[in-house]
Structure 1
């Protein structure tokens, strides 16, 4: 089960960004995809106007694509921010204000996976204090996800690009998954396995797949080096996805790569068009 057997969705926060947000779902559909995912689109507002939420909802529905994943508010992405839920003060308050907004929007589109980025370490703040704050906020997020029948995703990033982010290995992220499930009693937290980030950390990807495929709720891919499309770097992504399938993973694979110096619609030649639509 490699490229031709997986179910792919397009991340509209890193692909098709040459287009306005409201034009991207239709562009993904025109490229042959039937499912999409998004980072939180309003980087400056955890609580945008209802009219903005309604406009995005309509464009997703009109394009005929399924929203498979949505991030909670995480500050400026891409950029120096890496999340808000573990940041003391205003940012964690903004995250909490965003929780039900995300859940309601995702639920209205049948989205079943919500991603909560942890947040950078803050100078002068005890890491244990940040971790305790993160756990409280993640439990709130898990409850909101449960309300709409969704899972809560916890993601490891990579240390070279996110040196202040504390979850820079698969075991670190899975450890948070376990703590959230224990604290919430819901069991709906899952690992987001991003093969690009894990490869940047130098992890043994076949071992990660063997150990954590059963704990994984979503997978994202990009090649390394460069974070480009499969085939632009050296990661054996076809083989890794085959390993995931053989390990029992049956979920979605998010395309979270940069298109390079070309329109996004031209960055999918590695994937036959007949393999882009969900089966």
Structure 2
């Protein structure tokens, strides 16, 4: 496994929707704490439910509190059906998105999260790209305002064209253009680019050029090696160099671990990251 010594320059958060997914959701914060992590992030954890009942929300809050793990970021309602990637641009999901937004913001706020992540949504037949983009801007503007109300940022990311062929944001440039449109619409400046090394690598992007071009717009970074979407050191990405370049470019935010463990056992996948760095 390749050396990743530049890891020492950053603070880390573990995505508990993909890591420790071999465990029930409410057991994952404790598992993360057992592995030495004190911060975590989540995709929307309640499936298609826009407004989970109070007992479910309280149980999740308790799991994090009991484990001593802080939530740092939360996805707004995202995957609804196989192949769906977000709801912001989907006319049929307009009301569900807006119903979910205050619930997600309240949950994020109660757990101390400083970021809401909104996936854009796939292109769909029978609706023009222009209509979808106009709706997405409306919804992302509402999301930015909701994030601002809890002292958080709004994250917008590019996904890879293999796993999400109908998702329109396949480049860093496309995602940053949406970020800029949202900031222009709100005047808040709290929309940021979520730079996911894996998705961009699958799309063939020059990650060094992405860092050099958009470091000032990056609000969060997520990592997985490529190919395979496993832990750093298992693929071909020079994660050490990329993390060092982030530091040199002035990025001081956290690095989210959003990979699948190569062995299928999450606890075995952290050898690349010394335990003393996991709680930074």
Q: Give 2:9's aligned residue.
A: 5
Query: In the TM superposition, what whole-angstrom CA distance separates every residue of 1:207-233 from its partner, at most 9, and x where no partner exists?
Result: 100111111100000000000000111
Alignment of 1:1-279 (within 5 A): 2-76=6-80, 79-89=82-92, 91-278=93-280
Query: In the TM superposition, what whole-angstrom CA distance separates every residue of 1:85-117 from its partner, at most 9, and x where no partner exists?
Result: 10112x222111110001111111111110000
Q: Secondary structure of 2:91's match?
A: coil
Q: How many residues align?
A: 276
Query: TM-score, normalization: structure 2?
Result: 0.96
Distance 2:232 2:262 in 1: 12
TM-superposed CA distance for 1:4, in Å, is 1.7
Q: Is the 8 A contact 2:263 2:269 kept in 1?
A: no
Query: In the TM superposition, what whole-angstrom CA distance separates every residue of 1:155-186 from its partner, at most 9, and x where no partner exists?
Result: 00011221100000000000000000111111
Alignment RMSD (CA, Å): 1.1
Query: TM-score, normalization: structure 1?
Result: 0.97
Distance 1:60 1:255 in 2: 18
Q: Which runs of 5+ in 1 are unaligned?
A: none
Distance 1:203 1:30 in 2: 36
Distance 1:252 1:147 in 2: 22
Q: Which runs of 5+ in 2 are unaligned?
A: none
Q: Is the 8 A contact 1:193 1:218 kept in 2?
A: yes
